[in-house]
Amino acid sequence: MHEVEAKGILINNGGFTGMNIYRGCTHGCIYCDSRSTCYQFTHPFTDIEVKKNAPQLLEKALRSKRKKCMIGTGAMSDPYMHCEEELGLTRACLEIIKKYEFGLAIQTKSDRILRDIDLLAEINNRSKCVVQLTITTIDEDLCKIVEPNVCTTKRRFEVLEEMQKRGIPTIVWLTPILPYINNTEENVTGIIDKCIELGVKGIIGYDFGLTLREGDREYYYEALDKHFPGLKQKYIKEYGNAYHIESPNGKELRKLFRDKCKEAGLLMDNQCFEYMNEYPEKYEQLSLFEL
């Protein structure tokens, strides 16, 4: 872990306003796209870059921002990595978002987010807060392999349940789907059914496959050799150096996903992003019962 003085904190990307408090990750997920060389890391990926002045930069940005909006975080680096326990920069930024009554769309795999559930509820009461969790497998043992240094699926479902109790809307990322690993109907159905049971607002499941680029491909293949002997050779034979690879039953899984979500009235894909980007002025606040 090393600290830097950042020059800015908010990034506008296609109408979405986001921030990254940290850079890099310690969760060790075998499929992590953020390891790609295209992101131009100048330090080891697990040597977390800490933007120590993130709260000050955020306060300055929000204080001068005329129009309220949703602030997103967690897309590139999880805001609840191990270092957050010691540093508390994510919580400090949440306090500022609450203070200036901006909205929040926060994404994580970690149950450390429960530490801040009080703040998340306050933000949701003042404006809007959407908590996003990535859930890729219903199998606890498999989860420990593909996402080794973070809480397992069972615990993430408990996080969703706690958010539901507080009336905080949730979105689940059902991605990536790894060919010949978690690309089963049983897995996809199991995750969606549990999301329905817990009252999740929507599910993002764009691609029933994954991306492999220079940097993350090598890390992924190393994990395949370790945990799934022979599978790397199968990938190379079927996909070569393709950037995006789809599971062989991807079309069937996508149809299953869409049918189940539609039947349950869940938001899907772009609908989820539209919902997360809507500041409360543009929508009628949902009741706790509806959430």
Residue of 285 and 67 predicted with greater confidence: 67
| Domain assignment of residue 250, given as a range | 2-280
Task: Say if residue 283's pLDDT is above 60.
Answer: no
pLDDT in tens, 44-56: 899 999 999 999 9
Can you read off the two tokens belonging to residue 144? 């420990």
- 100-116 mean pLDDT: 97
Determine, yes or no, domain membership for 143.
yes
Percent of the chain with pLDDT over 70: 96
Determine, yes or no, domain membership for 286.
no
Q: Give the pLDDT confidence score for residue 285 in this predicted structure.
A: 44
- Secondary structure class of 151 (helix, strand, coil): coil
Instruction: Determine the Cα angle at 264 with ends 259 and 267, to 5°.
Output: 80
Task: Say if residue 150's pLDDT is above 80.
Answer: yes
Please state, rounded to an integer, the average pLDDT across all residues of the chain: 93
* Residues 223, 227: Cα–Cα separation, whole Å: 6
Task: Say if residue 289's pLDDT is above 70.
Answer: no
| Nearest residue to 186 (alpha-carbon basis) of 110, 144, 270, 249 | 249
Task: Calculate the alpha carbon distances from 191 to 1, 40, 95, 168, 267 in Å.
Answer: 34, 34, 32, 20, 15
Q: Give the pLDDT confidence score for residue 15 in this predicted structure.
A: 74
In the block, which residue shows the tokens 């996909």? 239
Determine, yes or no, domain membership for 101.
yes
* Residues 28, 66: Cα–Cα separation, whole Å: 39
Q: What share of the chain is helix, strand, coil (3-state, %, to 5)?
A: 45, 15, 40
Determine, yes or no, domain membership for 285.
no
Determine, yes or no, domain membership for 93.
yes
Confidence of residue 96 (pLDDT cuts 50, 70, 90): very high
Output the pTM of the full model. 0.92
Task: Say if residue 284's pLDDT is above 50.
Answer: no
pLDDT in tens, 161-177: 999 999 999 999 999 99
Residue 176: is the preceding peptide bond cis (ω within 30°)? Answer: yes
pLDDT in tens, 4-40: 999 999 998 777 899 999 999 999 999 999 898 888 8
Measure CA of the first residue to CA of the last residue in the chain; give whole Å. 38
What's the total number of domains in the chain? 1
pLDDT in tens, 224-281: 999 999 999 999 999 999 999 999 999 999 999 999 999 999 999 999 999 999 998 7
Which CATH number belongs to the domain containing residue 163 in this structure? 3.20.20.70
- 196-205 mean pLDDT: 97
Determine, yes or no, domain membership for 216.
yes
Task: Say if residue 70's pLDDT is above 70.
Answer: yes
Determine, yes or no, domain membership for 6.
yes
Residue of 1 and 89 predicted with greater confidence: 89
Determine, yes or no, domain membership for 111.
yes
Task: Say if residue 149's pLDDT is above 90.
Answer: yes
What is the amino acid identity at position 220? Y
Residue of 1 and 257 predicted with greater confidence: 257
